[in-house]
Amino acid sequence: MTPRRRQIDLAHLTTEQANRASADLDLKSSLEVARIINREDSKVAAAVKRALPQIARGIDLIADALKRGGRLIYVGTGTSGRIAALDAAECPPTFNTDPTTVQFVIAGGLKALAGAVEADEDSAELGAREIARRKPGRKDVVVGIAASGRTPFTVAAIAYARRQGARTIAVTSNHDSQLERAAHLAIVVEVGPEVISGSTRMKAGTAEKMVLNILSSGAMTRLGYVYGNLMVNVHQKNTKLIERALTILQRATGVDREVAQEALAQAGQSVPVAIVMLKAGVSRPRAQRAIKVTAGHVRKAVAAARK
């Protein structure tokens, strides 16, 4: 016998309401549809802007956790989980972080990245079980992402992580939600009703992508993995990235291409070490020591190497 599903009321959620701006969308021309979606999308950045004070607090929580050897763990289902996976996957090549430093948990596991596994998002038990496998603790920050703010899988994961001593952050598009109440800090980005009613892969998903970009990039910048506005820890895994590393080194130090190539070779192809060598005028071993004692903070390493 199939168990009865628990009835839920979504009508009060702003993300589920009808959008008057897209009424009769199916009667519009392709250009009109594009204009309506674009006009609604233009509201997302403003909604994120209103949440910047909370996002800044999130950056500080994450930077502090990573500085202490902790982890950033994202949790989500469906679109939210896939956006979390994207941000986590891009941190190692962008900032040269260990793959375990920024992680993601998605309802349904890896198969959910390519296809919908929607039933799992209704299970609080699965949410608690999946985050428990990561053993969240006092050094970690766990970020739960859910447009509705009510997804049982995500709410349960955040509640479990909080009980284990982790700092917790909610990212949602609806105020006064279960997820907001479960977390230490709530980042609520009110984007309003979707162009296609209830399709939170649209404005709400865009808002989530923006927020996660700011959280991870902001934390890595605070840790000194960005020099100026340059991603100096970039992985050099292909021709494009090798070329990018050279350009970054030239911009950071003002040297020409030939000097940059020679410095990178002497630095063992490490852009941060090459920057410290060139900016402080020191040897590779001294530059490496400076990078180590400053925990990879490039600007502080330059100053330390000059002493």
Question: Helices in the chain by DSSP H: which ranges?
Answer: 30-41, 44-50, 52-67, 78-95, 124-132, 152-163, 178-182, 203-222, 239-253, 257-266, 271-280, 284-293, 298-306
Distances (CA, A) of 64 to 53, 59, 61, 68, 276: 17, 8, 5, 6, 24
Residue 32 annotated in active site: no
Residue whose entry in the numeric block shows the structure tokens 């998903």: 205
d(CA 298, CA 21): 48
Is there a contact between 263 and 249 (Cβ–Cβ < 8 Å)? yes
Is there a contact between 80 and 59 (Cβ–Cβ < 8 Å)? no
Residue 249 phi, psi (nearest 5): -65, -40
CB atoms within 10 A of CB 262: 12
Is there a contact between 237 and 77 (Cβ–Cβ < 8 Å)? no
* Selected catalytic residue, list 40, 121, 180, 194: 121
CB atoms within 10 A of CB 218: 18
Q: What is the 3-state secondary structure (H, E, C) of 154-186?
A: HHHHHHHHHHCCCEEEEEECCCCCHHHHHCCEE
Residue 90 annotated in active site: yes
Residues designated as active site:
90, 121
